[in-house]
Structure formats: C-alpha cells, structure tokens
Amino acid sequence: MKLEYFQMVDRVEAIDLERQTIRCRAQVPERSTVFEGHFPGYPVMPGTLLVETVAQCGGFLLMALDGYRRMPVLTQVVKARIREAVEPGATLRIDAEVQQVSSGIAAIEGRISLEDRRAAECEIRYRTMPFPEPALRDLVIARAREIGAPVTAAGPGGA
Amino acid sequence: MTAFNQETFDSVADIIADICSIDRTEIGPDSHAVNDLGIDSLDFLDVTFDIDKKFGIKMPVEQWMEEVNQGDADADEFFVMKNLVVRIEELRAAKAA
C-alpha cells in the first residue's frame, strides 16, 4: 500500500471471472504521513481508506470483467462497517464480489479480513464510464499487470 | 406494441418515491422523471439499480441517453413515467422470450 498515492491493493491473489469474485492482499505501511494525523501517538488506518481499499479491489474486478473498457468511479457507499482498528504493518485480505452490473452502473460487496477476523465490510456502488484519456487507461492496465490482475478481453458478465 | 402496465407503474413509482424522497402521490403516468420530479443523475442511478433488480432486467440507460443526445430520440420517450414503464415491459418481454 502507498496511502499517499492511493495505491491500496498490493496483489490480486485470486480472481474468478465466472463467479465474479476477487481476493486481494495489501500490506499497511509501517510509516505514512497519514498516521501522523490519524492519530498523533495512536496510528490507525482511517476507516475511509479501508472503504477505498475495498472499492479499488472491486474496481479491479469490474475492469477485468469488461476488458478494461470502462473505468468504475465510486458513487455510493451503501453500507460500511469498520469492526476493528487496523494498525500500521497489518496484512489485509480483501474479498469482493459483484452484486449487480447494469448499463453504466455496478455494485459490489466486499470485506477486509485480518487473519481470520473480519475488520471491515462494505457495499459499494460505482458509475462505470469510458476512460477519459487513453493514457489513464494505459496506466491502470500497467498497474493491474503489476499487481497480478488479469488483463484480457472482456470476460463473462462484463459491464 | 407493449401496453402500459399499472402494476409495473406502481412498483416503479414506489421505488422512485423511496429513493428520491418524493411524495408518492406526486408521481403520475405523465410525470417526467427529470423535469417534473427533479430526479438528478445520481438518484437515477439508484433508481436504475432497483428497477433492474426488481424486474431482472438491464435498462440500457446509457444507450437511451446517447439516442437523446444524438437527436435520434426525445427524452420524453424514456423519462416520462408511462413511457418508462412501457420500456420496462418491453425489456421484461424480451427477457422472457
């Protein structure tokens, strides 16, 4: 994870395009300017960034499903529960599955686990739109390759 | 031609009233979703989600908007409630076929 660059997903560990599920891994950094303010002397991963982590995990799933034709943009956090404080150095497992993909919209459910404990769970909706710039799409695909997400033609159930 | 279905209208009106916090009695067959009911694009996304889920369809809203923007269709054809209901019925029929 590079919190300052909003790189929340380190690795795609498993993805199933038929079942429309994904599992990712992320290592919370030991040090970050984020922790200087959240909170002084008591560093804790902000809950909003846990939601962002789930959103990015789901986003990689949605892009893999439609062959990176469209870019999912967060529009709604329907539900979010932060069950446990996540401290610097923690290893996160993030799971997400598609709930709905429609014309220009998508919804996922996801959760973050710390070992066998559930730390957070979210229900997230996105608007999906064509990439505004080809260069951005190229960057996203490069990042997807870097973290081990499949970059292929559209899979089943794409947006 | 697919006919207006009152039951579908009632379901859609209930969804819109719930999501957009609009008095259900204000939503009639001739109401325009945007011009009369004031539904914005974000709320319409939620409405689309719930309609798709309720009826097991995928409303091609982007395609509709493209047709409107290109001048190939009038927005009323999609966003006046009675017309929206007919579109939904067409999609349901196409799915069942």
Name the residue ranges covered by the structural domains of chain A: 3-145
Interface of A with B in 99-138 (CB under 8 A): 100, 102-105, 107, 125, 127
User: A46 — phi, psi (to 5°)?
Assistant: -60, 140
**What DSSP letter does each residue of A57-96 carry, written as one string?**
HHHHHHHHHTTT-EEEEEEEEEEEEE-S---TT-EEEEEE
What integer pLDDT is reported at residue A158 of this predicted model? 44
What integer pLDDT is reported at residue B1 of this predicted model? 67
User: Exposure pattern of A12-28 as b/e (b: 16+ CB <10 Å)?
Assistant: beebebeebbbbbbbeb
What is the CATH classification number for the domain harbouring B29? 1.10.1200.10
Per CATH, the architecture of A3-145 is what? Answer: Roll (3.10)
Q: Is residue B19 part of a domain?
A: yes
Q: How does DSSP classify residue A39?
A: S
What integer pLDDT is reported at residue B84 of this predicted model? 96
Angle, alpha carbons A6-A10-A15 (nearest 5°)? 115
What integer pLDDT is reported at residue A102 of this predicted model? 87
Is B62's CB within 8 Å of A103's CB?
A: yes
Q: Any chain A CB within 8 A of the CB of B76? A: no
pTM exceeding 0.95: no
Spell out which residues of chain B touch residue A102, defining contact as CB-CB under 8 Å.
Answer: 48-49, 52, 58-59, 61
Higher per-residue confidence, B3 vs A79: A79
Is A103's CB within 8 Å of B42's CB?
A: no
Q: List active site positions of A.
A: 38
Q: Any chain B CB within 8 A of the CB of A75? A: yes
Smallest Cβ–Cβ distance between A103 and the set B46, B53, B58 belongs to: B58
Residues lower than pLDDT 70 in chain A: 153-159
What integer pLDDT is reported at residue A19 of this predicted model? 97
Spell out which residues of chain B touch residue A127, defining contact as CB-CB under 8 Å.
Answer: 45
Is B45's CB within 8 Å of A125's CB?
A: yes
pLDDT tens digits, one per residue of B28-87: 999 999 999 999 988 999 999 999 999 999 999 989 988 999 999 999 999 999 999 999
Number of structural domains, chain B?
Answer: 1
Q: How many CB atoms lie within 10 A of CB A139?
A: 12
Q: Any chain B CB within 8 A of the CB of A74? A: no
Q: Is residue B1 part of a domain?
A: no
pLDDT tens digits, one per residue of B4-41: 899 999 999 999 999 999 999 999 999 999 999 999 98
Tell me the residue range of the domain where B55 lies: 6-96
